[in-house]
Structure formats: structure tokens, C-alpha cells
Structure 1
């Protein structure tokens, strides 16, 4: 007997071992065209509420799973986005900044088909990370916490659409897309607050100066002191870590003539500096007030609670993702997006 030439639609609740449903079967079950199902799978744009509900119900009944591999081949897309962090794992998992950034990125991608792939690539030994990313395995990349020495990032930048979190150190204003916090103004805000309270010997603990974030916060500190007619105080690199902040504070105290106030360019470093000051019998804020930077959870975990400059890290992750998604959609977003910092006054200053 000859088989009928109609599409067979499996019954709802088919056994797990049955042949997977196709997009044509979903369309037949929903009573719509194949293109309507495709639009629903792509996000539901330009589909009536009734058709949207019918397609979603058919997908559930047929246990339909989109064939991502086939769709990717057809569109030449991987539907993967890389987050590249040129730091070691201790730094990545120990700094709340990264958790906030990832939270913002993941929140934005949740409503898309893109998957986030994380690459912790300190130095990229053997070009393992860059070889993978330039080999057509991702559609684009987000890069945060980059240093001037991370030359492998330029190879990724030439191969796929990239958005940097923070201004690239070597950026000349052309060819780069980035989302940054106004770190120069953040350094100014912190230092101005201390100057306005009568402090005249203000030291600073900086982040790495081969990163724009480190040099920009130092620049803001120096600008305010110069405008106030005050000399720049001691400046020591704390490497954005608790241990580095403690070591930098110890060096400042060992040099003699301790400062009467301190601007620390991250909350983690401020935590380390606070411990050293307390160990030396110095009161905070009584003897040396401190202003940090980040407004991370660390700021409220220490005692006294840290006065700090808030940087909108989660919002930065969201904005980076928006810019990259716009680029992947063929749009032309702004190359530079600058977010504002603000002072959060607590107990250390």
C-alpha cells in the first residue's frame, strides 16, 4: 500500500526514543507557516499573540528542540560570545568586580540565543585562547581587565567583533569599541572630598599603571591636588589586590612622615591598607581617613565601613553586551561609552 504524502505530526508526549520533531511538524501542529515558527524561535518579533501561543504550545507538545548546529551552519553564526579575562584564576574569583560584570553580561544575553563562553587567559601561553577565538568558534568577544602587555588581544580584535570593558591602553580613538567608567573623574571625586575636608598630605595606592583604569584614577588624583596647590603625596602600586594594598600601605608608612589621608583605587586594596593601619595603631578615620573605589561588597564587610567611589560594574557589563549585540546585528553603536562614578559616604572618611 502506498504511503500518503502528508506530514506526520507525532502525538504529544512521545517517548524519549522517538524521532525528534522537526520545525515543519511544529508548524503543522500549530497551524502556521514554517517562517512563522522561525520568527518565534528567533525571539517572537512580528508574530501575532495568537500565533505565538499556538507555536509555543506545539513546541511543548512535541518536545521540539531547535537544531542549533544546522541553523548556525546556515547563518554562518556560532551563537557563542567569548568573555576574555587576561588575569589568573585567583584574581578572577577573588575580585567582586568580575562577578558584577559577568552578572550584567549574562543578564543581557538571557533573552537572546547567544551562549557565553568564559576564557581566563593570563598571558595566553601558547596562543591557546587566541587560536581558538580566531578559528571561527565565536561570533564576538568581550574583553575586561586587559593590560598593555596583553598583545594577544590585538589578534582577537582583528578577527572578530570585540568590545572592551575599559579603555584599551593603546587605543588612539579609532578601531576600538569600549565601555568604560569615567575613572579620571572618579579619582577626582575621591581626592576632592578629602581636600575639601582640610587634608593636605594625601597619599594614594594605585592599581597597575599598565591598565587605563590604574593610570586614569591616578590622573584624577593628581589633577585635584594640582588645582588645590598641593603636592602629590606618596603613590604606591597595590595591584588591585588585598595583599598588594597591604604591602603598598606598609611601604608608605615605612617611608616616614605618614599622610593625613588616603585615596585607594580599589576596595580590595583599601581592605589591605586598613589592616596595616590598624596594626600600627592608627585610627581610621581619626588619624587617616580612607576613600576607596568600586563600592563592592567589600566596602560594607569591613569595619569601619568604607567610604568609596561607586563604579557601576553590572551596568558596564550590560552596556558592553548591548554594544556587541548591536555590532553583531549590523548596526553602528558608539565606539566609546562612558559611565559615571559617584561618591558613597560611609565611615572611613
Structure 2
């Protein structure tokens, strides 16, 4: 096949050496950021790079180093929820900030089906990334198990119980949920329900556990409704179900701020005042909390810091550090506003 003569030739390290008048070996040391290069040589090489339009051939370099300089962020959520949930966005931004500073590329992989899981598992086995951060992993999740089996540097945001050898960054969802439920009880509410979500992962099941512990003997299983996702629609459907089960309900713990926002819109439709008739609290302190009217009482979790710490955990492992046993829990805070 004839070569396309219209395609511009890619500048090479030889071009940089020729224009700068510096040996190829010295040019290579400058481009790799090595020490023991004179300031004069460095200036000459940098000027030549600009003149010839040299761009480092990352693919070739990766073949030599056996590194892709990429880390996967694997998100186990439907595409619609990734766009809706500000917490996911903040985790993503925190992760990317740390990886970018270290000159690593973040590769975002969203799992919305079993086909996605199979495809991504095969991608990870292909060596296209040096490490992985897993967000919203479920118990028995095939991607989490594949990563544990591969032994690549990895960290979870959250803590699936069946992959104990992979470090994690998270929060104490049980204690946080218990604390905000007790605060809601202290306002005098006696018929408190919960719109529970995502019970197939640690965050959802732990928030339900904290709610149950807070209520103690007053816990009524009929005042808990269960849904698969932390979404606005979960709040809409869940609040309607709670009102139909218990018209006298006077308090609600929603498993996330998005869930709380949907619930509050239903209460408005049903002519119930917040907090006059029903006090409601959420979880996350995301932008959803401030969109609500009245503003939502909630648990603030450090989404950006979760992403940053998980990324740093993977980078530390790539640098040769031993992964820590167990995990790291970051602090949360109850933010009390007018909804309760």
C-alpha cells in the first residue's frame, strides 16, 4: 500500500537533537526529566522541541516501561444516575485532580449492565490500565473480584465485604445514619420511616442498620421501603408508598439527598408541610440538599476527599508501597437545616 504523502511526518527525537545541536542521549535525559543536565542544554532542547513540534510517543514509551500511565475509575451505576448524582461527580473530580497532578490519565468505565461488566473485566485483564478505583461495588461484584484476582494496585470507595484484601476509603455510614436519625427523633417525631436504597452495597445496608439502631424498640419494619438506586425517582415512589402504608407518619430518613428531594416534592403534592407535618433528613450534603425547599438537613460526606484519597492510595501502590490492610474512614458531619 502506498504511503499517504499528504500526512505530515511526526517529529522525532533525532529532529530535536539535530536542531538543538545536543546529543540524542542528552536530549533523551532532558525529555525524561533526569538530573545532571546543564541548564544550557536543557534550554536548547526545550527550544528545539517547540521549533520542530516534537510530541512524546507515549505508546512507544509504555512498551518499554510496561506502564500505561492510566488508572481506571470503575463506576457501578446506571448512566442516568451518574449524571444525576453530584456525589459521583465530586468523587470523579477529586480522583482526576490527584491522578492528573501525577501525570496519570483517568479512564472512566461505567457499568450499566452485565454486558458492561464482562466487557470491562476483559479490558482490565488486557493490561490497558496500571490500577483501578472501584466506586459503588456490590457484594459478589465480578469486577471487584476480577481486580482482586489480578492483583493490580486498587482501592475501593466504600467497602464490599467479599474482597477483604483490597484497601478501601470510606465513611462510617452506620454511625452517620444513626446520628442523624437520633437528631430527627429529638425533634419529637414518633412515627419515623425510611426510604432505603442500594441495599446490595455497604453504604445502603449500613445506613439502614444505623437507622434501625437509632430507633431501637421503636423500629417498625413496615415503615421502611426499599429501592435499588439512590435516585430522585426512588424518593418519589418511596414517599408515596410510605404515605399509603402510614398516613400518620411524621418523620422520614431518606437514604440520600436525591431521594429526599423526590420525597419532598411528593409531600408538597399531598399537601403535607415540611417540617410542620413531616420532618425529613437526607444523606450526602450534595447540591440536591440546597435545591430543596426548605433546605435539607443531612449528613455531609467528603466526596471530593474520598476520590483524592483513593487515587493517592493507588499511586502509592504503583510507587512500590505495600497496600494497607483494612481501610481508611473519613469524618462526616451532620448539617442541620430547616427540613427537620
User: Any stretches of 5+ residues in structure 1 without a counterpart?
Assistant: 1-15
User: Any stretches of 5+ residues in structure 2 without a counterpart?
Assistant: 1-6
**SS of residue paired to 1:293:** coil
Task: Tell me the C-alpha RMSD between the 2 structures.
Answer: 2.7
1:133-172 counterparts in 2 under 5 A? 133-159=124-150, 160-171=152-163
Relative to structure 1, the CA distance from residue 343 to residue 50 in structure 2 (aligned partners, 3 Å threshold; closer, same or farther) is farther
2:105 to 84, 107, 115: 115
Instruction: Check if 1:187 corresponds to 2:150.
Output: no
Q: 1:278-308 CA distances to partner (integer Å, 9 max, x unpaired)?
A: 1111110111111111111111112111111
2:266 to 260, 276, 281: 276
Instruction: Check if 1:211 corresponds to 2:201.
Output: yes
Q: Return the alpha-carbon distance in structure 2 between the equivalents of residues 186 and 266 of structure 1.
A: 12
1:1-349 counterparts in 2 under 5 A? 17=8, 20-22=11-13, 25=16, 29=20, 33-34=26-27, 36-40=29-33, 56-125=46-115, 127-159=118-150, 160-171=152-163, 174-226=164-216, 230-232=218-220, 234-238=223-227, 239-335=229-325, 336-349=327-340
Q: Return the alpha-carbon distance in structure 2 between the equivalents of residues 206 and 46 of structure 1.
A: 60
Relative to structure 1, the CA distance from residue 64 to residue 263 in structure 2 (aligned partners, 3 Å threshold; closer, same or farther) is same
Q: Return the alpha-carbon distance in structure 1 between the equivalents of residues 256 and 103 of structure 2.
A: 35
CA contact (8 A) 2:13 2:28 kept: no
Q: Return the alpha-carbon distance in structure 2 between the equivalents of residues 204 and 315 of structure 1.
A: 27
155-164 vs 91-100, which moves further: 155-164
1:183, distance to aligned residue in structure 2 (A): 1.0
Q: Return the alpha-carbon distance in structure 1 between the equivalents of residues 189 and 139 of structure 2.
A: 34
What TM-score, normalized by structure 1, do the two folds share? 0.84
CA contact (8 A) 2:192 2:251 kept: yes
Q: 1:83-127 CA distances to partner (integer Å, 9 max, x unpaired)?
A: 111222112212212111111111112222321112112243172
1:48, distance to aligned residue in structure 2 (A): 8.8
What TM-score, normalized by structure 2, do the two folds share? 0.87
Aligned length: 327
The structure whose residues are more often helix, as a share, is 2
Q: Return the alpha-carbon distance in structure 1 between the equivalents of residues 302 and 134 of structure 2.
A: 17
